[in-house]
Structure 1
């Protein structure tokens, strides 16, 4: 299922869609509406260009015990820049194609690349490169509270892969199952490998339910399950960053998993301008050569409050968050929205014995967000994290692998 992809194809797709709209417009009147960018529509087709840009400045202070070298680092970087198209054909078909150029060598890759068929309002069949599990992972980074999704997201490694998904939705619930392969951005599996040529394969499912939905209070609960098998590719690695996309990882199992099973739980409480969100995941990893399975755990809890009275916009029929409506945007003479947040993360890899970096990660993050209007946001995050790793040494040398990391980062973002 994995293929080598050229972004030229994405440009060609956008041109083709634009041309098809132009041809259709000869027979039907075309209207233009504003949805962060112009959206063109006629009786049978819609077309919109979409994108986002995040620019970050990061300051990091790394303190290592024992003989490890302490250091400070800083960097201004392009966190991500994306460009794509989206739209619909009639009421039954929808498409999305988006590519990104990120920092760290200017890596270019596909993001969402999907085709969706909806035979009715409650049923969807989706094929393409996209995400399927975890509330924070599925919700766009444009709408998540903190600058980064955090250690939990890094741990479960539930990014975009090729999926065939069936999804049912109701007024306050969702249920979806999918068969998955590898990421569209991964290289083709070698056809002459002595060990075989099977790519990663798996399946997953997610259900959500909102038992409380009033004018002032919303409660979300959800759960998901995922099975993966690496096939003939590299073993799975379970690791975490320090609540930032910048820098290296100090807690990691190394490449140990040949297959794994993950159970995830989600919970959200929204009351007026207050939000409380958390998730838990347990991964049972099967190792090679009949080594004992290991159970790895992670969770986070995030609390936030809009000091200017806004409410996070939760969509129960999708099981995810959407764009917050700003009550008094600067474009209408107001001050925009101000949001304060705090987050706690914990990831425990210590069930894997004998690996010096298979430790425990904990962190506190404080955040402040300013939304001048709905499509622009400025963020500041400060994270104090601890990477407590095991070691074969004892006594005064028992903590030689521990690393404390303090990270302060700023972001300017806009999307359309």
Structure 2
């Protein structure tokens, strides 16, 4: 705080006087003159200091004050943009992604367990009850920059290990449609059931038609496959050899193509039309032994349909047709076909067909794709949890296979009724009952026979 200037002058004058009079009680004229001069000098100095102290105030009052620089703001941290998520759990298993999304990897897993019982057969050895680990499938798939993707998986079933899908694909656009070209081993595109993964077919086993009308190498072959997909149609073509083998014999060669079209598509459903064909060239060392077709349950190896043996086979060719559709929560599908086995002696016909249907009593849309013509997993409207109980589907099927053009070939058919409960998108519990009839002309169980098989399956697939 600054003292008033007059008070400061008085204090100074008092101090000087006290100093002077302290030395002599009666000052002389010379001392008084000296004292007066000191006081005047002090007063002048005080006036000078007072003028300097008022100068900034006067300047500020007379003009605009000089701008004062505002204090520099404190630097604040700039929030960095969050990096893209590198793990996606939306499908139940983690899908790993690089930060730019160019590389991905997703594990694949499937576990299937069955409890099966067969009764009513005239052969006691066919009346079996037991449990089976139907299959454990483990693998992975992912994407690579440049439009490439890969898929590798192995199946552990029937006390054996098999490589199923194992291929590298390239995807691009052709005239606005999706084109995929793959090299390696992958599931045949052969009908609705035949072109669908086992865990996504509405039934516990594929139909007798799928087992009958197909190349000798089975459902898989190593080679080149291509698929062109539009909004309501697709077409595929493949050239393949045998499935993965030991490399001790020449491969057979199979040319196979399929197309389907889903016309009359509305918000409530669509019509499905399709067809497929193949031509198979068998090597001279090939043999066609008696096919052993699953009739109802894979667990019961004593319950099979024998297709008969064929000497000196040269090749085979097959043709299949598809007709069905989806309407609301229901679906219907009919598939049939013929295979002709060419031998040195003559040609033999093999005929088969299947008619199947289903209905989701919980209102789900049947997961038959109008783009690919194959089944997928259903999208459960109310998954099992606090407020949900899952999806419930009623399914039925009749299928028939006839190998009787060959004197050693058999005949068989089945009637199936089942319930599929999907607690979530990735889980399924099924209870299916089958009434079957089989006539074999070769093997351990020759003659007409009929009976029933009931199977309960618990499955999880990702």
Task: Bin the TM-score by the shorter chain.
Answer: 0.7 to 0.9
C-alpha contact (below 8 Å) 2:164/2:187 kept by paired residues: no
Shift of 1:169: 1.3
Q: SS of 1:136's equivalent?
A: coil
Q: 1:177 aligns with which of 223, 227, 237?
A: 237
- Partner Cα separation in structure 1 for residue 226 and residue 237 of structure 2: 6
Shift of 1:236: 5.5
Shift of 1:316: 2.4
**CA displacement 1:170-203 (0-9 Å, x = unmatched):** 111111111111111x3322xxxxxxx4222111
Q: For residues 366 and 91 of structure 1, do their structure 2 counterparts lie closer, same or farther at Cα, with a shift above 3 Å needed?
A: farther
Moved more, 133-142 or 371-380: 133-142
Shift of 1:406: 1.5
Shift of 1:370: 0.6
C-alpha contact (below 8 Å) 1:380/1:411 kept by paired residues: yes
C-alpha contact (below 8 Å) 1:251/1:387 kept by paired residues: no
Q: 1:167 aligns with which of 227, 239, 242?
A: 227
Given the alignment of the two structures, is residue 187 of structure 1 paired with residue 238 of structure 2, yes or no? no
C-alpha contact (below 8 Å) 1:331/1:373 kept by paired residues: no
- Partner Cα separation in structure 2 for residue 267 and residue 378 of structure 1: 28
TM-score by length of 2: 0.75
Q: For residues 101 and 70 of structure 1, do their structure 2 counterparts lie closer, same or farther at Cα, with a shift above 3 Å needed?
A: closer
Q: 2:121 aligns with which of 54, 63, 78?
A: 63
Given the alignment of the two structures, is residue 235 of structure 1 paired with residue 282 of structure 2, yes or no? no
Q: SS of 1:322's equivalent?
A: coil
Moved more, 68-77 or 139-148: 68-77
Q: 2:395 aligns with which of 326, 341, 347?
A: 341
Shift of 1:378: 0.2
Counterpart in the other structure of 2:382: 328
C-alpha contact (below 8 Å) 2:237/2:255 kept by paired residues: yes
Larger Rg: 2
Shift of 1:359: 2.5
1:305-316 to 2 correspondence within 5 Å? 305-316=359-370
Q: SS of 1:243's equivalent?
A: coil
Shift of 1:333: 2.0
1:330-409 to 2 correspondence within 5 Å? 330-331=384-385, 333-353=387-407, 355=408, 358-389=409-440, 401-409=447-455
5+ unaligned residues in a row in structure 1: which ranges?
Answer: 1-27, 190-196, 392-398
Q: Aligned pairs, how many?
A: 364
1:110-189 to 2 correspondence within 5 Å? 110-120=163-173, 122-132=178-188, 133-157=190-214, 158-184=218-244, 186-189=245-248
Q: 1:292 aligns with which of 328, 333, 346?
A: 346
RMSD: 2.0
Q: SS of 2:447's equivalent?
A: coil
5+ unaligned residues in a row in structure 2: which ranges?
Answer: 1-82
Q: Which runs of structure 1 show a deviation greater than 6 angstroms over 4 or more consecutive aligned residues?
A: none
C-alpha contact (below 8 Å) 1:148/1:243 kept by paired residues: yes
- Partner Cα separation in structure 1 for residue 336 and residue 324 of structure 2: 12
- Greater helix content: 2
Given the alignment of the two structures, is residue 81 of structure 1 paired with residue 127 of structure 2, yes or no? no
- Partner Cα separation in structure 2 for residue 153 and residue 229 of structure 1: 20
- Partner Cα separation in structure 2 for residue 337 and residue 226 of structure 1: 37
- Partner Cα separation in structure 1 for residue 247 and residue 253 of structure 2: 14
C-alpha contact (below 8 Å) 1:236/1:258 kept by paired residues: no
Counterpart in the other structure of 1:99: 154
Shift of 1:163: 2.5
Counterpart in the other structure of 1:33: 88
- Partner Cα separation in structure 2 for residue 261 and residue 237 of structure 1: 17
- Partner Cα separation in structure 2 for residue 274 and residue 38 of structure 1: 33
Shift of 1:317: 2.3
Counterpart in the other structure of 2:315: 259
